Amino acid sequence: MICVIENNNFSLRDVKQTLYNSSWDPKEVADFHETIGNKETPLVKLPGLAKRLGIGSLLLKDESHRFGINAFKALGASYAMYRQIEKNPQIKTFCTATDGNHGRAVAWMARKLGRKALIYMPQGTVSDRVRAIEQEGADVFVIDQAYDIAVKMASTRVDEANNKSGKHFWSLIQDTAWDGYEDVPLDIMKGYWTQMHEITRQIGKEKIDVLFLQTGVGSWAASIIGYIMKEWQNPPACISVEPHSANCLFESIKTGNRVSVKNDETTTMAGLNCGSVSTLAWNILKNGLVGSISISDKLSEEAMITLASPVSGDPVIISGESGASGLGALIGLCKKHDFNTFKEKICLNKTSTVLVINTEGDTDRSNYKRVMAANIENNFQFQK
């Protein structure tokens, strides 16, 4: 199932205005990432799937290869942590809340920096994700409440530790912003620029018409749109994608105001299971998105399966639930004969070039196996 809305406040002029005074040095960020061993991740073409979906061309940036930790998130966390240490070399412990990938990235970078990491995770977190973080040497607390409460707990823990010692030995590395907490999430958003820096080089002169961006708190999507507005002559139509049960951006776009949603129902798209949009991200997304989509878990699973057993010589891509959701939205739109006005508005048709970003690999191996096994058993009809 798929829900679609247009954004009545879409205005690239307003996005440009918002970004007008912001600092801009993606080369410096990419140079930093090189110092910690970054290697460009592949951008692949999927002509077989493009044909099946009835579009001109489909490109996929595969972040499952990033830093060997199966998701893009370390681009943001590593840059922000490096900037924190630069400002305050006394930091001993990094702390964050996470649905999985960001926490693993913080733990990974903390280990590289010889610092400790303490990671809060929400109820329902699967053991694969906890283990992946513990294997990086971090301490993990799985709480019995949702992601947004985990964020509050991590923030309180850092304040208490620093107040007790009277020193700033602890640093909160949260990938969402709120009033009074902006420096770190802004650096995390800058860290994501490297991905767009690579894509820009990889696509060369090719023009992207439509870009699907899966969102949790929206920091990544806002960073991507910010980059595009600064560097690309012809911005694509950018569409956000969320799970139905954690559709805070969808609801915010619908009402024109940043609103929170209750996200205590489970979704397998763990990385997107957030109840509120980051304040910094909202400033960009409220005008930068042409539309917003929410999808069912089934649709992201369909995308995972499609990428794992490709058609007509397309490469095999390992994609997790959140990673595949951008493609899930594209499949949902192309399969349905409704949403025609929306498709016209975003120029999604048989000549368009679409970019999706596989933001993670099989970060929940058990569920990945379950989805693939169910596919073999049911021999899903979309497996042509």
Is there binding between residue 243 and ligand PLP (CB under 6 A)?
no
* CB of residue 300 to ligand PLP, shortest distance in Å: 11
Is there binding between residue 94 and ligand PLP (CB under 6 A)?
no
CA distances (Å), 337 to each of 51, 113, 250, 356, in order? 17, 52, 22, 21
* CB of residue 63 to ligand PLP, shortest distance in Å: 8
Q: Which stretch binds ligand PLP (CB under 6 A): 3-11, 118-126, 140-148, 215-223?
A: 215-223
Q: Is residue 173 within 8 Å of residue 84, measured between CB atoms?
A: yes
- Of 324 and 334, the one with the shorter C-beta distance to ligand PLP is 324
- Of 218 and 328, the one with the shorter C-beta distance to ligand PLP is 218
CA atoms within 13 A on the CB side of 155: 15
Instruction: Reduce the secondary structure of 360-373 to three states and give it as a string.
Output: ECCCCHHHHHHHHH
Q: Which stretch binds ligand PLP (CB under 6 A): 6-14, 87-95, 217-225, 250-258?
A: 217-225
Is there binding between residue 41 and ligand PLP (CB under 6 A)?
no
- Of 95 and 217, the one with the shorter C-beta distance to ligand PLP is 217
Is there binding between residue 175 and ligand PLP (CB under 6 A)?
yes
CA-based nearest residue to 173, from 116, 223, 225, 122: 116
How many chain residues bind ligand PLP (CB under 6 A)?
Answer: 20
Q: How far apart are CA 70 and CA 62, in angstroms?
A: 10
Among 38, 125, 194, 359, binds ligand PLP (CB under 6 A): 359
Among 103, 191, 226, 271, binds ligand PLP (CB under 6 A): 271
Which structure tokens are listed for 109?
Answer: 């970078």
Q: Is residue 7 within 8 Å of residue 253, measured between CB atoms?
A: yes
- Of 52 and 371, the one with the shorter C-beta distance to ligand PLP is 371
Which structure tokens are listed for 28?
Answer: 């410096």
Among 360, 362, 368, 371, binds ligand PLP (CB under 6 A): 360
| Residue 335 a catalytic site member | no
Among 26, 236, 243, 323, binds ligand PLP (CB under 6 A): 323
Is there binding between residue 71 and ligand PLP (CB under 6 A)?
yes
Q: How far apart are CA 101 and CA 132, in angstroms?
A: 9
Among 130, 217, 293, 354, binds ligand PLP (CB under 6 A): 217
Angle at 52 between CA 48 and CA 56, to 5 degrees: 75
Is there binding between residue 220 and ligand PLP (CB under 6 A)?
yes
| Residue 343 a catalytic site member | no
* CB of residue 183 to ligand PLP, shortest distance in Å: 16
What one-letter code names the amino acid at 125?
T
* CB of residue 101 to ligand PLP, shortest distance in Å: 4
- Among all chains, which residue has been given the structure tokens 């776009």? 253
* CB of residue 312 to ligand PLP, shortest distance in Å: 27
What one-letter code names the amino acid at 250?
F
Is there binding between residue 122 and ligand PLP (CB under 6 A)?
no
Among 122, 218, 236, 275, binds ligand PLP (CB under 6 A): 218
Q: How far apart are CA 97 and CA 141, in angstroms?
A: 9
Which structure tokens are listed for 243?
Answer: 């799970």
Question: Of the listed 99, 175, 187, 209, which one is catalytic?
Answer: 99
Q: Which residues contact 93 (CB under 8 A, 6 or more apart)?
A: 115, 116, 117, 118, 161, 169, 170, 171
Phi-psi region of 70 (alpha: psi -120 to 50; beta: other; left: phi over 0): left
Task: Give residue number: closest CB to ligand PLP.
Answer: 271
Question: Of the listed 61, 73, 116, 286, which one is catalytic?
Answer: 73
Q: How far apart are CA 335 and CA 321, in angstroms?
A: 19
* CB of residue 363 to ligand PLP, shortest distance in Å: 7
Helix axes 279-288, 248-255, angle to 10 degrees: 60
Is there binding between residue 101 and ligand PLP (CB under 6 A)?
yes
CA-based nearest residue to 304, from 236, 358, 340, 379: 358
Q: Is residue 105 within 8 Å of residue 78, measured between CB atoms?
A: yes
**Active-site positions?**
73, 99
Residue ranges binding ligand PLP (CB under 6 A): 71, 73, 99, 101-102, 175, 214-221, 271-272, 322-323, 359-360
